[in-house]
């Protein structure tokens, strides 16, 4: 018994030593050495302290993990995990959870203005941002989660929606409410244009072509200077009005008509409710569509395309509708983004946005509507918290800039969450239609080799 323990400690130390050695090798050119632009070319500077401390930290952490966490003789857990149980108890947002969450969402801006008046603007802005990503996530969920088509260029439709509204407002003086349906229709139209040629491709080929499409749209927006303003973008996009009432100061505006004292926060609360409404519409439409034959066909397509075809489902039409409807919601969200910012430029529609939206959908658990909410709150909220870590300057010195580390931590979180919970935070992937009774081994417990 004693030898077993000794062996374990020895193994742990050896393993930690290897990990530290690896960090030493990997970090040598990045942590220990640094190239800097100096007069007359590049200059090298060394940071041995940083390098050694990185090695030491990794050694200690790895050793601690080996000794206390990764115990070899841990009992094998059987049955569904805690997350799976949570997922199963919250199958979708149609029950009481959804109602409660909607009530909370409606009440939130009022709670914030009452209890946190100092930071109300910041909070409501953050909530608008989270809801925008929830909506985008739900839109992409139709394509990736329900129909199982891997789309890496979803941001293209977001961009099309935003630019549709911006251009319509710029050239034809459209208001937000007039342009919103147009933006959605145009995005859906582009979704179909993209869909027609590429939908016969297999999963990964589809992924790369959609990625390429996203880049093409961005490059065109960037270089079509006469029409889109190129890198300067389009500014002066009108804000949405409340039945024709503006949110400015003075007579005949929202505050004056309703006899309230003027406050800038009204506009933000209004924007919040618009995106909440749009998100709820996305949610309801998706949920209704899931119960229609087309929604069933999407899920069937995701599970097994060959079986689908042999049962006489028109796979092209099924994929096209998924693409177009997902794109339409992306377009709506884009139009909202344009009006919220008042300014659009191609910089907002880089690949990283697509990656964030896809990460939200996958980390939330493919096909789970609730998961999208959880994942966007965690990811977007987490990124905002990192933005506000200025107090760490006290601990790490004045040169420490937390914003720099934001994307680093974001990437790390994406990897860690995925390795820890490969099936997403909330896992409900059971097909909505069941023949007679649920099988004991559900689809969500079978490792899915095919059909994503």
Residues that bind other proteins (CB under 8 A): 22, 25-26, 28-31, 33-37, 41-44, 144, 150, 197-198, 200-205, 207-209, 211-213, 215-216, 219-220, 222-223, 306-307, 351-352, 355, 358-359, 362-363, 366, 404-405, 407-408, 410-415, 418-419, 422-423, 447-449, 452
Q: Which is nearer to other proteins, 1 or 415 (CB)?
A: 415
How far is residue 160's CA from residue 139's CA, in Å, rounded to a whole number?
Answer: 14
**Residue 252 beta carbon to other proteins: minimum distance, rounded to whole angstroms:** 46
**Residue 22 beta carbon to other proteins: minimum distance, rounded to whole angstroms:** 6
Q: Residues for the chain: how many in total?
A: 452
How far is residue 202's CA from residue 252's CA, in Å, rounded to a whole number?
Answer: 57
Task: For the beta carbon of residue 402, count every other beta carbon within 10 angstroms.
Answer: 17
**Residue 294 beta carbon to other proteins: minimum distance, rounded to whole angstroms:** 23
**Residue 313 beta carbon to other proteins: minimum distance, rounded to whole angstroms:** 16
Token duo for residue 24: 């030493």
Q: Which is nearer to other proteins, 194 or 289 (CB)?
A: 194
Q: Which is nearer to other proteins, 260 or 307 (CB)?
A: 307
How far is residue 159's CA from residue 170's CA, in Å, rounded to a whole number?
Answer: 16
For 50, residues 6+ apart whose C-beta sits below 8 A from its C-beta are 31, 32
Cα radius of gyration rounded to whole Å, the chain:
25
**Residue 282 beta carbon to other proteins: minimum distance, rounded to whole angstroms:** 21
**Residue 289 beta carbon to other proteins: minimum distance, rounded to whole angstroms:** 22
Q: Which is nearer to other proteins, 222 or 294 (CB)?
A: 222
Token duo for residue 331: 């377009």
Q: Which is nearer to other proteins, 101 or 446 (CB)?
A: 446
Q: Which is nearer to other proteins, 48 or 258 (CB)?
A: 48
Q: Which is nearer to other proteins, 31 or 183 (CB)?
A: 31
Q: Which is nearer to other proteins, 22 or 434 (CB)?
A: 22
Task: For the beta carbon of residue 392, count every other beta carbon within 10 angstroms.
Answer: 14
**Residue 25 beta carbon to other proteins: minimum distance, rounded to whole angstroms:** 5
**Residue 41 beta carbon to other proteins: minimum distance, rounded to whole angstroms:** 7
Q: Which is nearer to other proteins, 9 or 412 (CB)?
A: 412
Q: Which is nearer to other proteins, 119 or 223 (CB)?
A: 223
**Residue 143 beta carbon to other proteins: minimum distance, rounded to whole angstroms:** 12
For 138, residues 6+ apart whose C-beta sits below 8 A from its C-beta are 279, 282, 283, 286, 329, 369, 372
**Residue 43 beta carbon to other proteins: minimum distance, rounded to whole angstroms:** 8
């Amino acid at each position: 018994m004693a030898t077993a323990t000794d062996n374990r400690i020895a193994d742990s130390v050896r393993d930690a030593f290897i990990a530290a050695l690896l960090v030493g090798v990997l970090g040598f050119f990045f942590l220990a050495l640094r190239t800097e632009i100096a007069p007359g070319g590049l200059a090298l500077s060394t940071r041995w302290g940083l390098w050694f401390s990185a090695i030491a930290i990794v050694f200690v952490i790895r050793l601690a993990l080996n000794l206390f966490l990764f115990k070899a003789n841990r009992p094998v857990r059987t049955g569904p995990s805690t997350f799976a149980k949570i997922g199963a108890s919250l199958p979708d947002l149609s029950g009481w959870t959804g109602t409660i969450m909607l009530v909370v969402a409606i009440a939130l801006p009022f709670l914030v203005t009452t209890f946190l008046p100092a930071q109300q603007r910041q909070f409501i802005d953050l909530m608008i941002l989270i809801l925008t990503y929830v909506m985008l996530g739900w839109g992409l969920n139709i394509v990736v989660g329900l129909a199982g088509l891997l789309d890496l260029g979803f941001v293209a439709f977001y961009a099309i929606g935003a630019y549709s509204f911006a251009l319509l407002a710029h050239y034809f003086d459209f208001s937000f409410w007039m342009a919103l349906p147009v933006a959605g229709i145009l995005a859906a139209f582009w979704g179909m244009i993209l869909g027609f040629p590429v939908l016969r491709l297999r999963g990964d080929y589809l992924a790369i072509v959609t990625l390429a499409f996203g880049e093409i749209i961005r490059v065109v927006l960037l270089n079509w200077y006469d029409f889109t303003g190129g890198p300067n973008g389009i500014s002066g996009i009108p804000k949405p009005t409340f039945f024709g009432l503006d949110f400015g100061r003075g007579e005949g505006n929202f505050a004056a008509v309703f006899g309230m004292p003027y406050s800038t926060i009204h506009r933000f609360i209004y924007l919040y409710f618009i995106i909440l409404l749009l998100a709820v519409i996305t949610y309801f439409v998706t949920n209704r569509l899931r119960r229609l034959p087309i929604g069933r066909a999407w899920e069937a397509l995701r599970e097994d395309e060959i079986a689908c075809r042999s049962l006489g489902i028109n796979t092209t039409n099924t994929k096209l509708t998924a693409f177009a409807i997902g794109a339409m919601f992306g377009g709506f969200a884009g139009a909202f983004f344009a009006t919220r910012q008042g300014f659009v430029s191609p910089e907002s529609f880089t690949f990283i946005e697509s990656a964030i939206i896809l990460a939200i959908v996958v980390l939330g658990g493919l096909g789970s509507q609730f998961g999208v909410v959880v994942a966007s709150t965690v990811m977007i909220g987490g990124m905002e918290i990192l933005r506000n870590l200025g107090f760490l300057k006290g601990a790490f010195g004045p040169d420490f800039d937390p914003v720099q580390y934001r994307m680093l931590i974001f990437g790390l979180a994406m990897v860690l969450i995925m390795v820890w919970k490969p099936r997403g935070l909330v896992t409900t992937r059971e097909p909505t239609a069941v023949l007679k009774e649920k099988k004991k081994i559900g689809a969500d417990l079978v490792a899915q080799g095919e059909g994503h």
